[in-house]
Structure 1
Amino acid sequence: MPMQYMRLFCQRDQKPHPDSSPEEREKFIRSKYELQEFLKPSLRIVSHQTSDSGKHAGSASHSDGSKSEIGMIEFIGILNVKVIGGTNLAIRDMSSSDPYVVLTLGRQKAQTSVIKGNLNPVWNEELKLSVPRQYGPLKLQVFDHDMVSKDDLMGEAEIDLQTMINAAAAFGDSELLGDIQIGRWLKSDDNALVRDSAVVVAGGKVKQGVALKLQHTESGELELEMEWMPLNM
């Protein structure tokens, strides 16, 4: 790698300091997450239509697209989703299942690893998705991995992101706030919540824990923790 390029890369990858200006922090976040300048082109997440065959390879939908393709969509923030685990998931093999989770936001997809033969899997895996200005619900699906045929659906649910994103916008810079609750997504017959889901500021970060009862299946619940990182911080 040429020395001139190495110096440029290091300058762009330098994280903001606590006393950095809001403009410097926003520039760093946009470079890292929206433009994805610190990743090789083959690893950048590009919004595009993927197959609905039930086979999902890799932890996110990738393309060899250029920066101009990524720049076509205006992103307002990054959603970091920690898939914690599942409980009492549905059986899709003889006596168990090999579950994995797929998250879909618009045309972006990200997935966890496969856990073999476990109806109460623990992933504790973090997946990242860029949130466009025009966003809808976060779709969650659980599949049973199969080596020889189409992966079977084990349940699905949707997560309304408006409660968290709107609360974060209303309260401003989370780094200036103490540990407080700033919003709540209420359990109702119209959503898949197991219980009310609070939006909190903890350690200067906006977080929301979510427990979901999977839909269109015999049984199963999934637990997640989401973290919101706005690009205009």
Structure 2
Amino acid sequence: MEDLLGLLRIRVKRGINLVVRDTVSSDPYVVITMGHQKLKTGVVKNNCNPVWNDVLTLSIKDVHTPILLTVYDKDTFTEDDKMGDATIDMKPYIDCMRMGLENLPNGTKVERVQPNRNNCLSDESCVIWNDGKMFQDMCLRLRNVKQGEVEVQLEWVDLPGHKAFHSKSVYAPY
């Protein structure tokens, strides 16, 4: 556990305009994969605009390990159908955490991240200071599919007894 930097909470909020994989709808769920870790949300029945609001927590040992979000349609008798995927780019969030900011007014926008070809953002994403913590809300455009987006929120959790995450000696820069 000494090599563990902290925890990353990913709140998988909702899906928007997901593709239909069954006759008229889908039964979507999300899988978050990072290295050997694999976490999933609950299934929302018959809904292409599901609200999950599930919190999935990853143990972070290396901030450079990619995070993959994949949406599936739950099927009973056949293999679950893929409904698209996206990568979660946590670099801007980590860069804000490295600033070591404290005591900012609630709602302060620390960073604005624009969609580009290197991320899966469908709209501007902001890293915001609230209640003594930084959060990043993002709307991810799903790849390998005609349509669909997933809204998520990132939140870092420092581990008691470990060096503070924003300590520059904890990890190498990008």
* TM-score, structure 1 as length reference: 0.65
**Equivalent AA in structure 2 for residue 211 of structure 1:** C
Q: What is the aligned counterpart of 1:128 among 44, 50, 57?
A: 57
Task: Compute the displacement of 1:177 (Å).
Answer: 3.2
Equivalent-residue separation in structure 2 for 1:106 and 1:163 (angstroms): 20
Please list the CA deviations of residues 52-81 of structure 1 after superposition, one character each: whole Å capped at 9, or x if unmatched: xxxxxxxxxxxxxxxxxxx3x711111111
Please list the CA deviations of residues 19-44 of structure 1 after superposition, one character each: whole Å capped at 9, or x if unmatched: xxxxxxxxxxxxxxxxxxxxxxxxxx
Q: Which is richer in strand?
A: 2
Structure with greater Cα Rg = 1
Give me the CA root mean square deviation.
Answer: 1.5
Q: Report whether the alignment pairs 1:106 with 2:73.
A: no
Please tell me whether the aligned partners of residues 85 and 124 of structure 1 are also in contact (alpha carbons under 8 angstroms). yes
| % identical aligned pairs | 38
Q: Which stretch of the first structure deviates more once superposed, 94-103 or 222-231?
A: 222-231
State the secondary structure of the residue aligned to 1:168.
Answer: helix
Q: Which is richer in helix?
A: 1
Q: What is the aligned counterpart of 1:177 among 79, 88, 104?
A: 104
Q: Report whether the alignment pairs 1:193 with 2:121.
A: yes
| Partner residue in 2 for 1:140 | 69
Task: Compute the displacement of 1:230 (Å).
Answer: 3.1
Task: Compute the displacement of 1:134 (Å).
Answer: 4.9
**Equivalent AA in structure 2 for residue 140 of structure 1:** L
Equivalent-residue separation in structure 2 for 1:218 and 1:157 (angstroms): 13
Highest RCO, 1 vs 2 (Cα 8 Å, sep ≥ 6): 2
Please list the CA deviations of residues 193-227 of structure 1 after superposition, one character each: whole Å capped at 9, or x if unmatched: 11111111111111000001110011111111111
Q: Report whether the alignment pairs 1:154 with 2:154.
A: no
Please list the CA deviations of residues 129-177 of structure 1 after superposition, one character each: whole Å capped at 9, or x if unmatched: 11113532211000001111111100000011111112111134x4x33
| Partner residue in 2 for 1:32 | none
Q: What is the aligned counterpart of 1:203 among 124, 131, 136?
A: 131
Q: Report whether the alignment pairs 1:220 with 2:129.
A: no
Please tell me whether the aligned partners of residues 171 and 182 of structure 1 are also in contact (alpha carbons under 8 angstroms). no
Equivalent-residue separation in structure 1 for 2:63 and 2:85 (angstroms): 22
State the secondary structure of the residue aligned to 1:164.
Answer: helix
* TM-score, structure 2 as length reference: 0.85
| Partner residue in 2 for 1:18 | none
